[in-house]
Structure 1
Amino acid sequence: MPVAADPVPRPLDHLALLGDRSAPALVDRTGMLDHAGLEDAVARLAAGLRARGLRPGDRLGSWMAKNRLACLLPLAAARAGLIHVPVNPQLKHHQVAHILSDSGARLLIAGTGRAATLEPGDRPEDCALAIEEEEGPALLSGDERLPPSAADPSELAAILYTSGSTGRPKGVMLSHANLWLGAISVAHYLGLEPDDRTLAVLPLSFDYGQNQLLSTWAAGGCVHPLDYLTPRDVVRAVARHGITTLAGVPPLWIQLAEADWPAEAIAPLRRLTNTGGRMSLSLVRRLRGLFPDARLFSMYGLTEAFRSTYLDPALIDAHPDSIGKAIPFAEILVVRPDGSIADDDEPGELVHAGPLVAQGYWRDAERTALRFRPAPPASIHGGTAVWSGDTVARDAAGLLRFIGRDDEMIKVSGNRISPTEIEEAAIASGATSEAVAVGLPDERQGQAILLYARPSGAEADTLLRDWFRRNLPSFMHPARIVWRAELPRNANGKLDRAALRAEAAALKEEDA
């Protein structure tokens, strides 16, 4: 790869300058861009965004399919001095409205279909709308070009929205340095090369989804973006383009492991990477049997620090339940409640320090103070660290094992979901006045949502399921609803969530 594991960050848009100018950088339905074309397209798009009246520091929202414009925006927005706010294409209009309002976005670029779902008031008055099909071609093909930026790497480059354990999604602030070092780190430990071809199937609003682009370009390689409908679409794309690198979340890997893979699709794959939840032992074994020559990378991360650990593929057969060791630029500590370092095999909280740590939550000092705190005294980097809330244990060889989450977050198919958001949605439907959401272990999705609710009428079940279907993406739908005349309460009169979680665990055991 053209860039070694060098800890000195640069402006994010400089990633467009790293590859061999004549080598392919992006292949999509409209054709191929080589690395010279990538740099030119980023320069034109950056100028086009400025021509829309946007100024450095403005937030730019994007809510669209995984097309050329969407792939170029992370670099072009950075070159124009803007703060990119990519929105998950699966979100519904009211969720998008919250992100636009909270971020203070000045422009939203969206496809015609998605833009049509926006209702009056969803978009702030000072947030303009650009329809991708109408304005995208002009943004990409203007005559003006912006030169590579001279941004301070500490400046903000993006806000990625992720659910919190309470309330609505919060925006994680990422600097040029965070994103640059994340790209270099992943390119380095995956061993990406200029002849690598990455099939980008993860959403670009997802931290690793965006990194699919950035790490590949850092290595001088080529990205093939794909919005797929079925696992078969992924298999065909791998064979058609000679894909060498494929990233996924456990539910997708389960589907792909069950798919029919012809020899021409298996042969080019050099590495498989997993994020968004731990793979089961049976899944690891299926993938190792199906792709014996591909290196399988198991990884752990959180948006607040991008990525924390990875497991050397040479160790996955012997340690399939391990999340490995720290990635380049990350310092990982296992910490007791008093801040001291836990002994080998002693459970403790995973704390991440170093330059990959994000800048906090956008306009949310209270929640920032809870998650971003001074590093433990034993930290080499010091400064601010991310206290993950996740419990892990370190063995004598330094390998980490994930034990559980201390907070109540639910993680479905790699999507972090706030129980409060599910409960508020259920109450908003009118079908219930009280609800408690709980995550249950699920082999295919990582976790599934169990919702306890008190019905408000005879048709509550039909009303609630229909409301979820119309208003929330599928990964936020309860897999099971348990209706109760009354929900349990604790001594303070609050809903007894601990009792319901214990009951949910018992239900899962009975189902098993």
Structure 2
Amino acid sequence: MALLFNDLLTTTALRTPDALALTARQQTYSYAALAMAVQRAAQGLLALSIESQTRVAIYLPKQGETVVALFGAAQAGAVFVPINPILKPPQVAHILCDCNARVLITSTDRLGMLATVLNNCGELQHVILIDELPLPSPIGQPHFVVHRWRDFGNSVASQSSRVVDKDMAAILYTSGSTGKPKGVMLSHRNLVVGATSVAQYLDNCASDRLLAVLPLSFDYGLSQLTTAFSVGASVVLLDHLFARDVIAAIASEAITGLAAVPPLWSQLADLPWPERAVSSLRYITNSGGAMPRSVLSKLRGSLPRTRVFLMYGLTEAFRATYLPPEELDRRPDSMGKAIPNVEVLVVRPNGSLCDAEEPGELVQRGSLVALGYWNLPEATAHRFRPPPDHARDIGVNETAVWSGDTVRRDAGGFLYFVARRDETIKTSGYRVSPTEIEEVVLASGYAREAVAFGVPHPILGHAIAVVATPTDARANIENALDYCKQQLPAYMVPAHFEWRTHLPRNANGKYDRALLIAELRGLFGTL
């Protein structure tokens, strides 16, 4: 039985060593081969004299070395920090500095991209490059040692520190409404129980083949690995440019399970599905935002024998609810009910339970609740609190996640999303901080004031809009957007940008986001 994150792989490798675990581009790994590669990576990290809970950052696209690095760091007793490969250097530097990463695993090209920002990451001591390309010329004197992946595992290293299931295994960075991305600390128990819980309601088994199209820095994307490995299934990694590439991979690889976010489902729904893809795909899952009814209808028409699971979750607690496929026709707008090993409460501001159909805050209890935010005690104290008194076990020091999301529960116990309390923008499956976008717009030099917010969009869930006041008559929207494109990943670049002579404020003197959202709600049509 797996107790630690890395046990999900090694336990299965002992049970079915020759079974196919991973396909990455042109490489395939059996469970035994993958476990051996992970062991070598762990030995390599230990040879660097890393200590228990040392942060190991991984800045790579989806490939075999990425998976090996994730599990190798955990096996060495370190904490892995996967970084979304589409993030730009300033954002990568923030994560490296914020989590005090001592080790960075990346490629030579990516190291070159980071050359101007790594001097600010004083804790960084080791950079491990997975390729053999010539080193880029460093800017300034590097304070870290560069190693090559091929040399890993050749050194004799000491034993890893003893780790228990309550220890931190990973830090996943997620944007909030108050600025820079926050690091969510996940324990080994969070990751293992999350994998087994999801595998339980998806009925995953060793014959499944999962297509991993989401970033492994995203809890939903990482779950494709953990869920598959927990049952001895195989995973196919795919970095796709077009939606049709996903369908082609499903057909050629005989994929049985696909997880995606609403924007990708919207694209897939408009494409033809060959019979080879239709016949193999046993189930699909959606999270990261609500799937529009029209998209759901098209997908069900194209995939009549495929089970559809609609899910809701927070990075702070992985997964909260799912709607069983047999309930889709009766409750297409429902979030469903709590997944195994989770209790979901709907509470009033005073902590008492809401009645049926009464809106209240979603509070999640159970084994999936994260350890808190890295190095943010105030934010942790606000979001991670004891559950309401009536739900608390006597004598147990328990923490629940108070989501900030307003939901309601019907008489049958099914949940429905009502509203998000904070200002975080949910777009393309990502949670985006409006403050982070505003800071970039202001740094462009073209805007004196700026307000970023989300407005409903039929494909993205929400599109990012910016309303700003120009610095002078020469300020140009096109130039401001070009600057945003240089500084931000594509999903954070504003879809709408406009100048105004002044920005509305509320009675407290704050920018009136609600008024701006109301004014521009229909910008991308009615949903």
Q: Which TM-score applies when normalising by structure 1?
A: 0.94
Spell out the pairing of 1:379-390 with structure 2 (5 A cutoff): 379=391, 383-390=398-405
Task: Name the structure 1 match of 2:301.
Answer: 289
Distance 1:147 1:345 in 2: 55
Does residue 211 (structure 1) correspond to residue 223 (structure 2)? The answer is yes
Question: Is the CA contact 2:47–2:155 (under 8 Å) kept in the aligned structure 1?
Answer: no
Deviation (angstroms), 1:130: 2.0
Distance 1:489 1:224 in 2: 50
Report the more deviating stretch, 490-499 or 433-442: 490-499
Distance 2:339 2:408 in 1: 17
Does residue 10 (structure 1) correspond to residue 22 (structure 2)? The answer is no
Distance 2:161 2:122 in 1: 30
Task: Name the structure 2 match of 1:24.
Answer: 20
Question: Is the CA contact 1:79–1:146 (under 8 Å) kept in the aligned structure 2?
Answer: no
Return 5+ residue gaps in structure 1 as ranges.
Answer: 4-8
Question: Is the CA contact 1:69–1:140 (under 8 Å) kept in the aligned structure 2?
Answer: no
Distance 2:282 2:513 in 1: 45
Return 5+ residue gaps in structure 2 as ranges.
Answer: 133-146
Report the more deviating stretch, 11-20 or 292-301: 11-20
Partner of 1:152: helix, strand, or coil?
coil
Task: Name the structure 1 match of 2:131.
Answer: 133
Deviation (angstroms), 1:454: 0.3
Of 79, 86, 89 in structure 2, the residue corresponding to residue 83 of structure 1 is 79
Deviation (angstroms), 1:282: 1.0
Does residue 122 (structure 1) correspond to residue 118 (structure 2)? The answer is yes
Of 51, 58, 80 in structure 1, the residue corresponding to residue 54 of structure 2 is 58
In the superposition, relative to structure 1, how do residues 212 and 136 fare at CA in structure 2: closer, same or farther (>3 Å)?
farther
Distance 2:401 2:8 in 1: 26
Task: Name the structure 2 match of 1:187.
Answer: 199
In the superposition, relative to structure 1, how do residues 148 and 225 fare at CA in structure 2: closer, same or farther (>3 Å)?
farther
- Sequence identity, in percent? 48
Task: Name the structure 2 match of 1:485.
Answer: 501
Of 247, 262, 270 in structure 2, the residue corresponding to residue 235 of structure 1 is 247
1:143-171 CA distances to partner (integer Å, 9 max, x unpaired)? 76998985210111100000111121110
Distance 2:234 2:155 in 1: 25
Question: Is the CA contact 1:44–1:139 (under 8 Å) kept in the aligned structure 2?
Answer: no
Distance 2:354 2:270 in 1: 40
Question: Is the CA contact 2:43–2:153 (under 8 Å) kept in the aligned structure 1?
Answer: no
* Aligned residues between the structures: 504
In the superposition, relative to structure 1, how do residues 284 and 506 fare at CA in structure 2: closer, same or farther (>3 Å)?
closer
Deviation (angstroms), 1:249: 0.3
In the superposition, relative to structure 1, how do residues 144 and 216 fare at CA in structure 2: closer, same or farther (>3 Å)?
farther
Structure 2 counterpart of 1:389, one-letter code: G
In the superposition, relative to structure 1, how do residues 508 and 243 fare at CA in structure 2: closer, same or farther (>3 Å)?
closer
Instruction: State the superposition RMSD in angstroms.
Output: 1.9
Spell out the pairing of 1:37-56 with structure 2 (5 A cutoff): 37-56=33-52
Report the more deviating stretch, 368-377 or 491-500: 491-500
1:163-185 CA distances to partner (integer Å, 9 max, x unpaired)? 11112111000011111111111
1:385-404 CA distances to partner (integer Å, 9 max, x unpaired)? 10001111111111111111
Question: Is the CA contact 2:22–2:28 (under 8 Å) kept in the aligned structure 1?
Answer: yes
Question: Is the CA contact 2:466–2:496 (under 8 Å) kept in the aligned structure 1?
Answer: yes
Distance 1:303 1:33 in 2: 29
Deviation (angstroms), 1:500: 2.0
Distance 1:489 1:76 in 2: 51
Question: Is the CA contact 1:269–1:294 (under 8 Å) kept in the aligned structure 2?
Answer: yes
Task: Name the structure 2 match of 1:455.
Answer: 470
Spell out the pairing of 1:80-479 with structure 2 (5 A cutoff): 80-123=76-119, 124-127=121-124, 128-134=126-132, 137-138=149-150, 142=154, 150-379=162-391, 383-457=398-472, 458-479=474-495
Structure 2 counterpart of 1:278, one-letter code: A
Structure 1 counterpart of 2:130, one-letter code: E
Structure 2 counterpart of 1:126, one-letter code: E
Deviation (angstroms), 1:142: 4.1
Distance 1:221 1:506 in 2: 44
Deviation (angstroms), 1:233: 1.2
In the superposition, relative to structure 1, how do residues 284 and 149 fare at CA in structure 2: closer, same or farther (>3 Å)?
farther
Distance 2:155 2:342 in 1: 41
In the superposition, relative to structure 1, how do residues 143 and 97 fare at CA in structure 2: closer, same or farther (>3 Å)?
closer
Distance 2:152 2:333 in 1: 45
Structure 2 counterpart of 1:77, one-letter code: A
Deviation (angstroms), 1:256: 1.0
Distance 1:393 1:140 in 2: 52
1:89-143 CA distances to partner (integer Å, 9 max, x unpaired)? 1111001111011000001111222222114343513313222213564266647
Partner of 2:336: helix, strand, or coil?
strand
In the superposition, relative to structure 1, how do residues 143 and 265 fare at CA in structure 2: closer, same or farther (>3 Å)?
farther
Task: Name the structure 2 match of 1:6.
Answer: none
Structure 2 counterpart of 1:421, one-letter code: E
Distance 1:463 1:229 in 2: 26
In the superposition, relative to structure 1, how do residues 121 and 251 fare at CA in structure 2: closer, same or farther (>3 Å)?
closer
